[in-house]
Structure 1
């Protein structure tokens, strides 16, 4: 049977002249609309087989193929979630009908739901899928031009040492230990919560993050300072595998009610766990650590990611600016 009703939705099921079985949702409760789509798809499959026309592909086809081909990506689960959100707007849409205006309308919905920066991440996925459909799969002649929102760069949020100590005193012990370790190492949340004893060598004062655990896909060497060693030593014997635990179980979530309550008691607003990493980098910058060293220690892939901390290092720049003073005053040692 060419049309099948499942629940309130009609499904299409037929075999093309080439022997390929087409089975998909018509995304409608109307049998007449489902029949119309069925006839259209069947006619197109005939033209593809008999006349050599390019087959008409849908967003569903492209999204599914993308997810199957990119399962290795660290952001695969994010892609799955974003594709699921787009389904309410793009389900059943032919790729040829996905115009710039249509995509912009859907992006506006996401921007209002969340923020322009979040909408940009969703738009980037649509753009990548449609480019793949055009340039790799040859499903469409060319992808539509997709413009991202212009997002104003936000200031770096970090704590002063005084604020950090106030927060540490307000946190429950297990979160205080993780917070102090994050401030001491600059590691991302996942690298702290998933840290295992097999990745730590206290005697050599080092730890390491495996490449498949790192955001950039490259191993991270962590030099353990006295603060980090103090925290790690305190965790010895609590768990066989995991470094940070709570009541004998590995910690997976840190953005908890206890974390938010501690922030409130400490009088700290607009602060996320990830801002502990910003705090670490900001402190190093303010104390004169060169940006290229911070980039290496923090495992940032590009210098641009670290330059956002440059404004926190005026003293470093003053030293270099004084070179001109020496030149103009004739006291430059190189000249003499």
Structure 2
């Protein structure tokens, strides 16, 4: 018998045309479904060996295999979320039918939050679909060729940060379980995922330090987090609420996609165009404006490259004053007075 049951799952044992055998799990406990999958695999192998035809693979098949093989990827949750959104639009498409035009047409119609996607967001979807199709071509050998995909032009997003007064107003409008989260974010600069997944085992109150493990950090390197008094106060307010997680709501860990209270507070505080991640920008901006060096900020924030930190440098131009002043002598400026010449060569001072 070419299908066999091991435990509750059915497996297949198929002889290929070249004499080798395919033995693999059919990943189902239903015998009828297992037999149908076995027959399809056998038919596909015959057509490929005798006729040189590669079987048509759907996007669903490719997406499922991608998720199974990319379990090590730190951003796999983001991939799952994007696949969830784009999958209904690619239903019925085989991989060889998916190209740049198809994906762009879909993305230009998609409005996950009731408004058109930005170029940057669309590019994240394109990059994922492109990676899946390239893997299907280069590694899985499901395709003879992979199409080229063109990315959208991305506008350079300005750094959005709050003034201390705006931050206080936002915190005032938040419910209690959100107040401590935002206070902790502004005090440490940690990303939302790292805050909501923070465990008591990652905190040493005696040394006033917390840490993010390498497998939880975006850059793949551990982050040591010095805890100032604001951060310590936020942590102390959460003690006793949960045995494992620091930040919770009604005795349960907070969901990453829980945003309704956050958005309502922004509306009441009169703050527009502001995401939770912008709290990290606010933290970094405040540090730069108060004299923290770029190298120190990079280490504290866990950024992978110095270039990512330099985007905050323009917020603290004070160290450039001595260089800018070098032109004063050339321009004839003395004690705040600029000496100019009129058309007749006569000089006059402009205060």
Pairwise same-fold verdict (TM > 0.5):
yes
Question: 5+ residue gaps in structure 2?
Answer: 1-13, 24-40, 330-351
Separation in 1 of the partners of 2:43 and 2:180?
A: 65
Structure-2 change in CA distance of 1:236 and 1:43 (3 Å):
closer
Q: More displaced, 179-188 or 193-202? A: 193-202
Structure-2 change in CA distance of 1:259 and 1:88 (3 Å):
closer
Q: More displaced, 290-299 or 253-262? A: 253-262
Instruction: Describe the SS at the equivalent of 2:237.
Output: helix
Q: TM-score, normalised by structure 2?
A: 0.72
* Post-superposition offset of 1:150: 0.5
* Post-superposition offset of 1:217: 2.6
Deviations 1:102-141 (A, max 9, x none): 3332333337753332221111011111221222233333
Separation in 2 of the partners of 1:44 and 1:201?
A: 58
Q: What residue in structure 2 maps to residue 62 of structure 1?
A: 62
Q: What residue in structure 2 maps to residue 213 of structure 1?
A: 216
Structure possessing the higher radius of gyration over alpha carbons = 2
1:266 maps onto 2:269 in alignment: yes
1:75 maps onto 2:78 in alignment: no
Instruction: Describe the SS at the equivalent of 1:235.
Output: coil
Deviations 1:268-297 (A, max 9, x none): 222222211110011111122222321221
Q: What residue in structure 2 maps to residue 50 of structure 1?
A: 50
1:148 maps onto 2:151 in alignment: yes
Q: What residue in structure 2 maps to residue 6 of structure 1?
A: none
* C-alpha contact 2:200 2:245 (8 A) present in aligned 1: yes
Deviations 1:197-254 (A, max 9, x none): 2111111111111122222232111011122123223333343332223444433368
Q: What residue in structure 1 maps to residue 165 of structure 2?
A: 162
Residue in structure 2 matching 1:188, options 187, 191, 196: 191
Separation in 1 of the partners of 2:210 and 2:42?
A: 60
Instruction: Describe the SS at the equivalent of 2:193.
Output: helix
Structure-2 change in CA distance of 1:106 and 1:264 (3 Å):
closer
Structure-2 change in CA distance of 1:129 and 1:161 (3 Å):
same
Residue in structure 1 matching 2:137, options 127, 134, 137: 134
1:302 maps onto 2:305 in alignment: yes
Q: What residue in structure 1 maps to residue 280 of structure 2?
A: 277
Q: What residue in structure 2 maps to residue 228 of structure 1?
A: 231
* C-alpha contact 2:192 2:256 (8 A) present in aligned 1: no
Instruction: Describe the SS at the equivalent of 2:183.
Output: helix
Separation in 1 of the partners of 2:108 and 2:94?
A: 21
Q: What residue in structure 2 maps to residue 318 of structure 1?
A: 321
Q: TM-score, normalised by structure 1?
A: 0.75
Structure-2 change in CA distance of 1:273 and 1:98 (3 Å):
closer
Superposed CA RMSD:
3.4
Separation in 1 of the partners of 2:82 and 2:101?
A: 19
Aligned length: 297
Separation in 2 of the partners of 1:196 and 1:293?
A: 25
* Post-superposition offset of 1:255: 4.8
Residue in structure 2 matching 1:286, options 279, 284, 289: 289
